[in-house]
Amino acid sequence: MGTRLAELYVSDANPLATARLNDPEKRFQPCILPWADRAAHECYRELTQWVERELDDDMGKQAYLGRIAEIAVQLATIRAAGRLGARARVELADIEWGVGLAHAVTMTMMERSTDCFAQTPRGEFADRLIRIIQRRGEVTRREQQNSIRSRYRTQEINDMLAQAIEAGLIVRTPSGYRAGN
- CATH match of 121-179 with 1.10.10: yes
Neighbours of 153 (CB within 10 A): 9
- Digit-coded pLDDT (tens) for 90-133: 999 999 999 999 999 999 998 888 777 777 888 888 888 888 88
d(CA 165, CA 181): 11
138 - beta bridge partners?
178
Domains of the chain, by residue range, sit at 2-114, 121-179
- Which of 36-50, 93-107, 147-161 has the lowest average pLDDT? 147-161
Of 142, 148, 143, nearest to 128 (Cα)?
148
The predicted model scores a pTM of 0.57
- Which of 48-62, 76-90, 114-128, 160-174 has the lowest average pLDDT? 114-128
What b/e readout covers 90-101, taking b as 16+ CB neighbours within 10 angstroms?
bbbebbbbbbee
140 - beta bridge partners?
176
Q: Residue 16's pLDDT is what?
A: 66
